[in-house]
Structure 1
Amino acid sequence: MLDIRFCRALQVMIRLAMAAEGESPVLSSTRFAEELGTNPSLVRKLLVPLTAGGLVVSTKGRGGGARLARPPEEITLAEIYRCAVGDKPLWASPDCEHVCETTANATRYFAGLTAEAEQAVLASLGDRTLADSVREFRSIDADSADSGFSAR
């Protein structure tokens, strides 16, 4: 099963960045839930690691909600990724019984391969900011409008 935490966290962060450009930079979990097609409880769970990581500020109660803790230009996708997935590796290393040369070295080899791939992913995500992502999203939307297709 694919882990969708980063995808959902990125959606939340992009939406907050877009809200920060408008009149109301604070969005409630109910509004998020409507926009993401899910329930407010899931949205609040998504916000917990983003808040703990210092990327989002959340206020409880009537009129409360979430907003970006820093400008989108100062938040990298690598930070969002780390907040969303924590220390969970991209792939799980196999745990093999050591019956031959292959199984004896598989766990260590795969762990190194996974660490190398994850470093490449983090380097790529570290080069992109949340502001870059908002621009890319808008470019996709503009391209869809130019072709007569609307993603909405």
Structure 2
Amino acid sequence: MLDIRFSRALQVMLFLAMAADNGAGPLSSAELAHKLNANPSLVRKLLVPLTDEGLVVCVKGRTGGARLGRPTDRITLAEIYRCAVGDKPLFATSPGAEPVCPVTAHAGEYFATLTAEAEEAVLASLGDRTLADGVSELRRLCTDHPRQG
């Protein structure tokens, strides 16, 4: 099963970006959770690394919530990806296989190389895109498909 932390974190960032563009104030974890169809505690967990890296600013209290920590054109999707997945590898091998053949003896090394190459490609692709690009693309999609936006 693929990890959904990046897609969830990116959606949160896009919600915050759209809210900022529309002049709205901070969004609470409950509001974000409702938009994600998720639990507010999940949203708060997603916000922790984003806040730690300065991509999001969170204010506690009744009128608090989350807002972007930087302008959308200064936040790359690669930064959001790194915050969401941390150091968890894109691919992982099954641990503890006995080295009884060339596959089991070298699968870990082989997958480590594949993972490094794939991660490099993912980060290169996401590093060229900003949150502002994402907002622009969403606005274009809303124009092209108004019933869905």
In the other structure, the counterpart of 2:123 is: 122
Which runs of no fewer than 5 residues in structure 1 stay unpaired? none
User: Structure 2: how far apart are the matches of 1:29 and 1:115?
Assistant: 34
User: Structure 2: how far apart are the matches of 1:103 and 1:56?
Assistant: 43
Q: TM-score, normalised on structure 1?
A: 0.91
In the other structure, the counterpart of 2:148 is: 151
Q: Report how many aligned residue pairs link the two structures.
A: 148
Is 1:109 matched with 2:123? no
In the other structure, the counterpart of 2:90 is: 90
**Residue 24 of structure 1: how far off its partner (Å):** 2.2
What is the one-letter code of the residue matched to 2:88? K
Q: Give me the identity figure in percent.
A: 66
Contact 1:29 1:44 in 2 (8 A): yes
Q: Mean alpha-carbon deviation: is it higher for 6-15 or for 23-32? A: 23-32
In the other structure, the counterpart of 1:41 is: 41
**Residue 88 of structure 1: how far off its partner (Å):** 0.3
What is the one-letter code of the residue matched to 1:83? C
Q: TM-score, normalised on structure 2?
A: 0.93
What is the one-letter code of the residue matched to 2:112? A
Consecutive aligned runs of 4 or more in structure 1 exceeding 4 Å deviation: none
Which runs of no fewer than 5 residues in structure 2 stay unpaired? none
In the other structure, the counterpart of 2:132 is: 131
Aligned CA RMSD, in angstroms, stands at 1.3
